Structure 1
Amino acid sequence: MDGESQILKSSSGHGKRGGWITFPFTIATTAGLNIAAAGWMNNLTVYLIEEFGMNSIDAAQVSNIMNGSVNFVPVVAAILADSFFGCFSVVWTSCLISLLGIVLLALTSTIDTLRPQQLCTNGSGICMSPTKLQFAFLYGGIALASIGLGGMRTNIATIGANQFRDSKYQNMFFNWFFFTMYIGTVIGATVIVYIEDNVSWKFGYFVCVAANFVGLVVFLCGSRFYHYAKLEGSPFTSLAHVIVATIRKRKLPILDENNWYYGPHANVDQTMSIAPSRSFGFLNRAALKCEGDVKQDNSIAKPWRLCTVSEVEDFKSLMRTLPLCSSSIFLSTPIAVLISLSVLQALAMDRHLGPHFQIPAGSIPVIVLVTTSIFLTIFDRFLFPTWEKLIGHNVTPFKRIGVGHVLTFIGLGVAALVESKRLNEVRDRDGFRISVLWLVPHLVLIGIGEAFHFPGQVSLYYQEFPTSLKSVSTALTWLAIAISFYVSTALIDLVRKTTSWLPNDINQGRIDKFYWVFAVVGVVNFGYYLLCVWFYKRKVGNKVVDHGASNAFNK
């Protein structure tokens, strides 16, 4: 019995493993891990400033690096799961690593010797610096918790979807998965952050430990019900074959005759033409048959000298998509900067709602998440169906990403205007603090933009990537976000060294100018994105065709 036939039919209830019986286990794990993660991640900048006496910009930089790691690890974890260990092993191991990391963070908030004393001598403003042991526990906890969360993030979605054979039920699972992920993040970023700010850091962090522990236990309890997909090996091996074979045959001429090229894989429709496309023609050499490359039974004798046309075309699909991927990096970079600095802005603003309630600064970025969740629902249920009825075709991923670009740089412009007003009020009215609600408009714009471009990117990569790289294509968006956080960290360091815009006291700086620079970069990046779309060659069936901008946005 093959692997797929072992999957329980989601609508019938027959079989031994898989199906809806696994749903409570995967969803509860998703909820527990995201509640725990949001509880410590969203308030990390504040924790570093208040409990470790860290410079505010340095604390924001640590948060950026942490966010970059959380979004980079899913790519590595997806490769490990698909090629070596399977999703189940990677998920439970990641949950355990995350738990250990949060325990270390909880210990820094509990044991006095694991964090510096916050008392400054004689009001001089000079506080004790953390010791090497204190830094080891702090950064060790952050690193382990980040790696664990990243390893779980995409693989729990994969193992959940693998329990169903019908794509209808897979899509239903994904809808519930993302809904649970967003709700869990909102709960952690509001309830737990409020506990940390108003009760104690210790209590808040141990709530995170409990949520993570429950998620791990629930996931393991479902092990007897899961369907375990068969490992297919690493898709990157075939990509490496193409690169090596192309280099080794770089001196051979590129031929037009089909019979000189080695055909598709055995599991591919044999009626497909074996002629490689002309785009990136130099790669076609990898599929050229030479003496000794093919055995008598027509199988490949030297995989590092000969590849199938299918493998070459898969590599080309990846190459064609990379320019679009690069534009998404500079789309996410200003968002990463804005989210990091908005926490610092909130600390310098009036966060009171009425006489008794104060909004935690670490909860401010939740505005983006809540907005994205709301507008994803509006788009799915109202906007896009209406668009399809009026225009006659769906909203393409190209259009969604393009609108996301525009809303993002507009949001950055609004953010710059708000920060300029805040600074004017502080300086003209002797330290007056404007309401933190001034941050809401541009964060809402960023959230709406994310509702457009984030699903658009996932959909585009999933459609355009070869079959062998489908699982990695969904992780590619996380990789772009990870790179954007690293780039934002480098840019903040560069600005700190070359300008006076980002001092420790942001009231003495010019964050507004920083936002204006990113708004201009966003406009330039949008132009670059349009060029990428204009020259993009898209795979249609077995052919690669050119699309001008107008056609690409409608296909």
Structure 2
Amino acid sequence: METTQISDDAVAVMYGTVDIHGNPADRKKTGNWKACLFILGSELFESLANCGMSTNLVNYFVDRLHEGNATASTNINNWSGTCFILPLLGAFLADAYWGKFRVIAIFSMLYLLGMVVFTLSASVNGLKPSCSADGCHPTTPQIGVAFISLYLVALGFGAYEPCFSSFGADQFDETDDKERNKKSSFFNWLYFTSNVGALLGSSLLVWIQNNVGWGWGFGIPTIAMAIAVVLFFCGFRLYRFQKPGGSPLTRIAQVLVATFTKIKIKVPHEKSLLYETADAESSIKGSRKLEYTHELRCFDKAAVPIDSDNIRGTPNPWRLCTVTQVEEFKAVVRLLPIWATGIVFSAIYSQMSTMFVLQGNTLDQHIGPNFKIPSATLLTFDILSVMFWVPVYDLIIIPAFSRLTGHERGFSLLQRMGIGLLISIFSMVTAGILEVVRLDMVKKHNYYDLKTIPISIFWQIPQYFLVGCAEVFICIGQLEFFYDQAPDAMRSLCSALSLTAMALGNYLSSLLVTIVTDVTTRDGKLGWIPDNLNRGHLDYFFWLLTVLSVANFLAYLWIAKWYTYKKVTASQA
């Protein structure tokens, strides 16, 4: 995309960005890294809260809510999926009506409220399940309070998350070369900061949950979330705000309706014959004009003017759309196949909080004779991998490859995500090999009823480390790709798309577990994933995910080959 270098003396940020008072944002006083320090600080504590709440949740469901392995795994996947499908709601409200700041403010409060109630359900007598030597015995109301509070967390997190990353990126003006490069680095460091918080959440807080108690284990993340909310509001005078552009779903519907009503109209070869406003600015509030592209030409019918398109001399938006509006729709359509390829990786990612933890429960968790490491704490090696690879990628790989390829960021975003998908295949292969070795020892030594097999849990490190490496390439690449390729007035919505891939990945994992359990437990068989994994075949489940990952990677290569990048008109680039 072409850019224009703006003088340091320029005051207003381009294409409608304003300050907290609604005035054009002063480039020297708002935005940039000074505003993002509050955003990164808030992200640190929010990720600590989120990871501290969710990392060990499968064990809470098994130990306190008295669920089996398959049921607990399914419930966690469904909850996680809901967390990542609700971003569509927050993104729609942000892009259409409220703006990102207001959505973050409202839903962060709901997020915090849900965490408070869930902490009370795990710590207050009457709300928490009663436990004795023969296990815990939760009542239906107690289970209900726990699930209601968790889904309130899902609502708050879901609406908050896509707006937060997109709002942070809004602090950099992509029409300025210097700020555009800083924006690209922002996504890397946002993810790095998120993982610093997650490191504390998946190590120290998991230990507290297992050794001190669930009340403190969930109470500390709740306090962290309160700090995150306060930090975010502290920076409000420094932020840049983009005005909402009206309902993106309405604009999409208008293109579809206009196309359908003109289904028999032939699209002219000359793009100058298509309808576009004469003004330099787009008719869509807060959005720049987009250049015409030749792909998906069937939707160009919506921009072909005919006599019946006008009502009292004014174009009917349900009959005639501008080229920019049509191109906005095309940009979203082009994103969908790329988005779909992220679903299988998300299913792999979800294994770290479900099957990897259950596999780790069967391994020797001791460090020395007296200290025992919780299996969920192994997630720290995924986080350490991310914390290792983010600075290596941003400070070493990008400069090195930019000199070789001539690309300013070393790789294109599509290449970056493809590398991540390839690495994710090896993470599943590694997990499968470890399970084969574990089951071979069980069979060889008749360890079927042994709770822990004499194999160190640290043999799980490679699979966590590889998932972390894949994250740096895929997840950060998706954050930047969906923000960069989204039309200006749809950025929250398109950022939410990358998160809904996480949702569908969790649902896919849940569906696979349900199908596998149903199919493999027929005729009295124990199945692949019984409560006693020594008598199951978890390795088969990992091989199934490996096959899906290979097929997904091949599909991605074909899709990426034909992708066309968004182009802003030269006068506004």
Distance in structure 1 (CA, Å) of the matches to 2:269 and 2:385? 53
Distance in structure 2 (CA, Å) of the matches to 1:42 and 1:367? 13
Helix, strand or coil at the partner of 2:364 = coil
2:150 aligned with 1:142, yes or no?
A: yes
1:306, distance to aligned residue in structure 2 (A)? 0.9
**Could you tell me whether the CA contact under 8 Å between 2:289 and 2:324 is conserved in 1?**
no
Aligned match of 1:41? 54
1:484 is aligned, of 492, 496, 505, to: 505
State the AA in 2 paired with 1:479: T
User: 1:156-195: per-residue Cα shift (whole Å, max 9, x none)?
Assistant: 3344444555546655655543332221111112111111
**Could you tell me whether the CA contact under 8 Å between 1:426 and 1:433 is conserved in 2?**
no
2:269 aligned with 1:262, yes or no?
A: no
**Could you tell me whether the CA contact under 8 Å between 1:104 and 1:141 is conserved in 2?**
yes
**Could you tell me whether the CA contact under 8 Å between 1:401 and 1:457 is conserved in 2?**
yes
**Could you tell me whether the CA contact under 8 Å between 1:52 and 1:118 is conserved in 2?**
no
Helix, strand or coil at the partner of 1:434 = strand
Aligned match of 2:339? 325
1:526, distance to aligned residue in structure 2 (A)? 1.6
TM-score (norm 1): 0.87
2:77 aligned with 1:77, yes or no?
A: no
Aligned match of 2:434? 418
2:558 aligned with 1:531, yes or no?
A: yes
**Could you tell me whether the CA contact under 8 Å between 2:18 and 2:240 is conserved in 1?**
no
1:61, distance to aligned residue in structure 2 (A)? 1.5
**Could you tell me whether the CA contact under 8 Å between 1:258 and 1:275 is conserved in 2?**
no
1:497 is aligned, of 518, 523, 531, to: 518
Aligned match of 2:212? 199
State the AA in 2 paired with 1:150: G
Distance in structure 1 (CA, Å) of the matches to 2:406 and 2:428? 33
- The worse-fitting range, judged by mean Cα deviation, of 162-171 and 452-461 is 162-171
Helix, strand or coil at the partner of 1:304 = coil
State the AA in 2 paired with 1:441: P
Map 1:55-74 to 2 at 5 A.
55-74=68-87
The 1:168–1:278 alpha-carbon spacing in structure 2 relative to 1, beyond 3 Å, is closer
1:236, distance to aligned residue in structure 2 (A)? 2.8
Aligned match of 1:361? 375
Aligned match of 1:303? 317
2:229 is aligned, of 216, 219, 240, to: 216
1:55, distance to aligned residue in structure 2 (A)? 0.7
The 1:96–1:411 alpha-carbon spacing in structure 2 relative to 1, beyond 3 Å, is same
Aligned match of 1:352? 366
The 1:267–1:239 alpha-carbon spacing in structure 2 relative to 1, beyond 3 Å, is farther
1:222, distance to aligned residue in structure 2 (A)? 4.5
Helix, strand or coil at the partner of 1:364 = helix
**Could you tell me whether the CA contact under 8 Å between 2:17 and 2:242 is conserved in 1?**
yes
Helix, strand or coil at the partner of 2:131 = coil
2:454 aligned with 1:433, yes or no?
A: yes
The 1:164–1:410 alpha-carbon spacing in structure 2 relative to 1, beyond 3 Å, is closer
Aligned match of 1:88? 101
Distance in structure 2 (CA, Å) of the matches to 1:25 and 1:376? 20
1:402 is aligned, of 418, 438, 447, to: 418
1:247 is aligned, of 256, 260, 265, to: 260
State the AA in 2 paired with 1:439: Q
Aligned match of 2:299? 283
1:362, distance to aligned residue in structure 2 (A)? 2.1
Cα RMSD of the aligned pairs, angstroms, is 3.0
1:225, distance to aligned residue in structure 2 (A)? 5.4
State the AA in 1 paired with 2:440: N
TM-score (norm 2): 0.84
Helix, strand or coil at the partner of 2:528 = coil
**Could you tell me whether the CA contact under 8 Å between 1:108 and 1:114 is conserved in 2?**
yes
Helix, strand or coil at the partner of 2:64 = helix
Distance in structure 1 (CA, Å) of the matches to 2:489 and 2:170? 16
**Could you tell me whether the CA contact under 8 Å between 1:254 and 1:284 is conserved in 2?**
yes
**Could you tell me whether the CA contact under 8 Å between 1:331 and 1:522 is conserved in 2?**
yes
Distance in structure 2 (CA, Å) of the matches to 1:99 and 1:111? 18
**Greater RCO structure (CA 8 Å; 6+ sep):** 2
Distance in structure 2 (CA, Å) of the matches to 1:496 and 1:537? 42
User: 1:388-431: per-residue Cα shift (whole Å, max 9, x none)?
Assistant: 32344432223222222221112211111101111222333323
State the AA in 1 paired with 2:459: W
Helix, strand or coil at the partner of 1:292 = helix
State the AA in 2 paired with 1:529: Y
2:315 aligned with 1:316, yes or no?
A: no
User: 1:191-223: per-residue Cα shift (whole Å, max 9, x none)?
Assistant: 111111111111121112221222223434444
Distance in structure 1 (CA, Å) of the matches to 2:147 and 2:551? 37
1:512, distance to aligned residue in structure 2 (A)? 0.3
- The worse-fitting range, judged by mean Cα deviation, of 364-373 and 49-58 is 364-373
State the AA in 2 paired with 1:306: L
Distance in structure 1 (CA, Å) of the matches to 2:337 and 2:46? 34
Aligned match of 2:138? 130
User: 1:502-522: per-residue Cα shift (whole Å, max 9, x none)?
Assistant: 112222210101111111121
The 1:390–1:172 alpha-carbon spacing in structure 2 relative to 1, beyond 3 Å, is closer
- The worse-fitting range, judged by mean Cα deviation, of 485-494 and 142-151 is 142-151
Distance in structure 2 (CA, Å) of the matches to 1:144 and 1:44? 16
The 1:95–1:265 alpha-carbon spacing in structure 2 relative to 1, beyond 3 Å, is farther
Distance in structure 2 (CA, Å) of the matches to 1:164 and 1:284? 32
**Could you tell me whether the CA contact under 8 Å between 2:259 and 2:302 is conserved in 1?**
yes
- The worse-fitting range, judged by mean Cα deviation, of 58-67 and 512-521 is 58-67
Distance in structure 1 (CA, Å) of the matches to 2:539 and 2:423? 18
Distance in structure 1 (CA, Å) of the matches to 2:171 and 2:544? 47
Helix, strand or coil at the partner of 2:394 = helix
2:163 aligned with 1:155, yes or no?
A: yes
1:475 is aligned, of 496, 509, 534, to: 496
Helix, strand or coil at the partner of 1:113 = coil
Distance in structure 2 (CA, Å) of the matches to 1:276 and 1:437? 54
Distance in structure 2 (CA, Å) of the matches to 1:154 and 1:203? 29
Aligned match of 1:370? 384
**Could you tell me whether the CA contact under 8 Å between 2:48 and 2:198 is conserved in 1?**
yes
1:341 is aligned, of 355, 360, 375, to: 355
**Could you tell me whether the CA contact under 8 Å between 1:19 and 1:164 is conserved in 2?**
yes
1:94, distance to aligned residue in structure 2 (A)? 1.9
1:144, distance to aligned residue in structure 2 (A)? 1.2
- The worse-fitting range, judged by mean Cα deviation, of 488-497 and 454-463 is 454-463
The 1:85–1:269 alpha-carbon spacing in structure 2 relative to 1, beyond 3 Å, is closer
Distance in structure 2 (CA, Å) of the matches to 1:351 and 1:87? 44
2:466 aligned with 1:445, yes or no?
A: yes
**Could you tell me whether the CA contact under 8 Å between 1:264 and 1:310 is conserved in 2?**
no
User: 1:51-78: per-residue Cα shift (whole Å, max 9, x none)?
Assistant: 1111122111222122222222233212
Distance in structure 1 (CA, Å) of the matches to 2:489 and 2:358? 43
- The worse-fitting range, judged by mean Cα deviation, of 478-487 and 218-227 is 218-227
5+ residue gaps, structure 2, are: 1-11, 174-178, 521-526
- The worse-fitting range, judged by mean Cα deviation, of 389-398 and 37-46 is 389-398
- The worse-fitting range, judged by mean Cα deviation, of 89-98 and 199-208 is 89-98
Helix, strand or coil at the partner of 1:262 = coil
Regions of 4+ moved over 6 Å: 272-275
**Could you tell me whether the CA contact under 8 Å between 2:290 and 2:327 is conserved in 1?**
no
- The worse-fitting range, judged by mean Cα deviation, of 481-490 and 392-401 is 392-401
